[in-house]
C-alpha cells in the first residue's frame, strides 16, 4: 500500500509539473500572437525610433500577420531611399523575454552593417545599434524596446493618418534635411535670462553654446527627435542659467523656430556674425582640441573646388595602392610642447595602423588665424608616419607647411557632428578648406 501511494504521489507531481510548463508556454505563445496581431492591426502603421551612436534613427513600419514588414527610413546618407518602401520579414520569438527580430535584409541592416562605408560607422561596429529588440512593455499604443546586443533604447508607437501621408511622400528625410539647412550660413540664437545661447541644429542632435558664470564658453549637446510638423523635441531637457529647454516649436506662418524655455516660447533669431567665433573654442587648451576628418566630409574632390579634398583623395588612392590599406581618418589635435609652444599633431589611421606628423604653429588670435612653421616626426615613435610619407601622401602632409589658416564655423554638415573648418588664407584662387568634426 505504501509503495502504491508513493507511485501515485510521484505520478501526480510529474503530471502537475507538465501542466504548469504547458500553461507557461501557452501564455507566452498567446502573448506573442497578441503582439503580432497588434502590430498588424495598426491602421496607419508605426513610428520606430532606434538609438545609435549618432542619435535616434527613425523608421516608419507597417506589419502583416504573416511576418512581413515594410519600412521607410530617414537615413539621409542614402537620399535615393527617400520615400521608398522596402519589405522584409520579422519575427517575435520567446528568448529571455519576447524579442522582436528583423531577420532579413532591411533598412535596419544598413545602420548595423560592419562595413563602415555602408553604415557610416567606425571600428567595423556599424552605428553601435541593434536589429533585435526585447519587448519591455506595451501600453497606450507604445512598445518600449531594448536592443538585444548593444542594449540601445528603441520604441514603436502608432502613427497618425497625417504622419503616414507625410512619410510616404518623403517626410522622414525631408524634416531632417530642412532642420540641418535651416538658416544655413547664419547663426541662430535666443535669450535665456540675460545670456545669449547659440544653437546648432544638427539633425539628430542640437548643440548649445553659452557663457558660464566664469565667462567661459560652454557647450552642451543633446539628441533630438524631429516630428513631421518640424517640431524638434530634445530627448533630455537642457538646463542653462537655471532655465529648462525642452525643444523647438516650428512656426509655419513665419517659417521660423521658437525655443521652449520653461514652457514658454522664445523666438530664435539669426545673424551673419557668430555669437561665439570658433577660434574662441578651437585650439590648445580650449573647449575643442580635436578635429576628426573622413574623406566623405568633402563635398568635392576637384582641385579647383578644394585643394584639401583633392590632396586627401590622392593620398587615399596612393596608400590603398601602395600598402593595400585606405586612409580611414585624419585627426588633428591642438596641443602644446613642454615649453608651451603651440603644436598640431596630425594622426593618420591607415587600415589598423596609426602614423603621426607634428606641426609647429604661431597664432594670431586677433585675426582668428594660425600659421604652420615646420613639420617633424618627433611624436611618430613607431615610425608609421615616416613609412606613409611617400608619393601623394607626402604631398598631402607637406601641403600644410608654411601656410596660414583661418578657424571658422562651416556650412558643411556630416551626420550629427559639430563641424568646423580651417580655411587657407592666401589660396591664390585655388580654395583649400579642411573640414572636421569637433571634439574635446
Please compute the mean of the pLDDT values over residues 289-317 and round it to a whole number: 96
| Of 15 and 299, more confident | 299
CB 32 within 8 A of CB 92: yes
DSSP letters for 413-432? --TT--EEEEEES--TTS--
CB 357 within 8 A of CB 385: yes
CB 422 within 8 A of CB 403: no
What is the phi-psi region of residue 120: left when phi exceeds 0, alpha when psi lies from -120 to 50, beta otherwise? left
pLDDT at 423 over 90: yes
Calpha distance 431→94 (Å, rounded): 59
The pLDDT assigned to 2 comes to 41
The pLDDT assigned to 13 comes to 40
Calpha distance 198→188 (Å, rounded): 6
pLDDT at 15 over 60: no
Note the maximum CA span of the chain: 109
- 264 beta partners: 261
The pLDDT assigned to 333 comes to 98
pLDDT band at residue 23 using 50, 70 and 90 as cut-offs: low
Q: What is the pLDDT of residues 239-281, one digit of tens each?
A: 999 999 999 999 999 999 999 999 999 999 999 998 999 998 8
Q: What is the pLDDT of residues 372-387, one digit of tens each?
A: 999 999 999 999 999 9
Sign of CA dihedral 163, 168, 169, 175: positive
Among 17-26, 104-113, 236-245, the minimum mean pLDDT is found in: 17-26
CB 57 within 8 A of CB 120: no
The pLDDT assigned to 22 comes to 54
How far does the chain reach from its first CA to its final CA, in angstroms?
A: 82
Give CA 98 to chain center in angstroms: 29
Q: What is the pLDDT of residues 174-214, one digit of tens each?
A: 999 999 999 988 899 999 988 899 999 988 999 999 988 88
The three-point CA angle 141-146-151 to 5° equals: 160
* Residue 34 main-chain phi, psi, to 5 deg: -65, -35
Q: For residue 214, give every residue at least 6 positions away whose Cβ sits within 8 Å of its Cβ, in sequence order, or none.
A: none
Calpha distance 207→205 (Å, rounded): 7
DSSP letters for 358-381? EEEEEEEGGGTEEEEEEEE-TT-S
Kindly report whether the global pTM for this prediction surpasses the value 0.95. Answer: no
Amino acid at each position: 500500500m505504501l509503495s502504491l501511494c508513493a507511485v501515485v504521489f510521484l505520478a501526480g507531481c510529474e503530471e502537475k509539473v507538465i501542466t504548469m510548463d504547458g500553461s507557461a508556454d501557452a501564455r507566452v505563445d498567446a502573448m506573442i500572437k497578441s503582439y503580432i496581431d497588434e502590430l498588424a492591426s495598426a491602421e496607419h502603421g508605426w513610428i520606430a525610433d532606434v538609438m545609435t551612436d549618432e542619435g535616434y534613427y527613425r523608421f516608419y513600419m507597417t506589419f502583416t500577420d504573416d511576418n512581413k514588414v515594410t519600412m521607410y527610413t530617414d537615413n539621409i546618407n542614402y537620399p535615393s531611399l527617400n520615400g521608398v518602401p522596402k519589405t522584409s520579414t520579422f519575427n517575435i520569438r520567446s528568448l529571455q523575454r519576447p524579442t522582436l527580430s528583423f531577420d532579413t535584409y532591411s533598412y535596419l541592416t544598413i545602420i548595423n552593417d560592419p562595413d563602415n562605408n555602408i553604415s557610416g560607422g567606425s571600428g567595423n561596429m556599424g552605428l553601435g545599434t541593434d536589429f533585435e529588440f526585447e519587448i519591455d512593455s506595451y501600453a497606450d499604443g507604445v512598445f518600449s524596446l531594448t536592443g538585444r546586443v548593444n542594449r540601445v533604447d528603441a520604441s514603436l508607437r502608432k502613427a497618425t493618418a497625417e504622419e503616414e501621408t507625410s512619410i510616404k511622400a518623403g517626410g522622414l528625410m525631408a524634416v531632417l534635411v530642412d532642420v540641418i539647412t535651416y538658416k544655413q550660413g547664419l547663426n541662430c540664437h535666443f535669450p535665456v535670462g540675460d545670456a545669449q545661447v547659440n544653437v546648432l541644429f544638427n539633425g539628430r542632435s542640437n548643440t548649445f553654446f553659452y557663457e558660464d558664470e566664469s565667462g567661459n564658453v560652454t557647450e552642451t549637446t543633446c539628441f533630438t527627435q524631429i516630428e513631421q510638423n518640424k517640431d524638434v523635441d530634445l530627448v533630455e531637457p537642457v538646463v542653462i542659467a537655471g532655465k529648462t529647454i525642452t525643444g523647438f516649436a516650428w512656426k509655419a506662418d513665419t517659417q521660423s523656430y521658437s525655443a521652449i524655455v520653461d514652457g514658454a516660447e522664445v523666438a530664435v533669431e539669426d545673424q551673419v556674425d557668430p555669437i561665439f567665433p570658433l577660434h574662441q573654442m578651437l585650439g590648445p587648451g580650449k573647449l575643442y582640441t580635436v578635429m576628426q576628418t573622413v574623406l566623405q566630409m568633402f563635398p568635392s574632390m576637384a582641385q579647383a573646388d578644394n585643394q584639401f579634398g583633392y590632396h586627401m583623395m590622392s593620398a587615399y588612392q596612393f596608400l590603398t595602392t601602395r600598402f593595400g590599406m585606405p586612409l580611414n581618418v585624419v585627426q588633428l589635435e591642438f596641443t602644446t610642447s613642454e615649453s608651451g609652444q603651440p603644436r598640431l599633431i596630425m594622426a593618420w589611421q591607415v587600415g589598423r595602423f596609426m602614423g603621426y606628423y607634428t606641426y609647429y604653429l604661431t597664432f594670431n588670435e586677433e585675426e582668428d588665424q594660425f600659421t604652420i612653421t615646420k613639420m617633424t616626426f618627433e611624436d611618430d615613435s613607431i615610425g608609421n608616419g615616416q613609412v606613409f610619407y611617400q608619393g601623394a601622401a607626402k604631398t598631402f602632409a607637406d601641403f600644410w607647411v608654411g601656410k596660414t589658416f583661418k578657424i571658422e564655423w562651416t556650412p558643411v554638415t556630416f551626420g550629427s557632428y559639430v563641424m568646423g573648418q580651417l580655411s587657407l588664407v592666401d589660396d591664390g584662387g585655388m580654395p583649400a578648406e579642411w573640414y572636421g568634426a569637433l571634439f574635446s
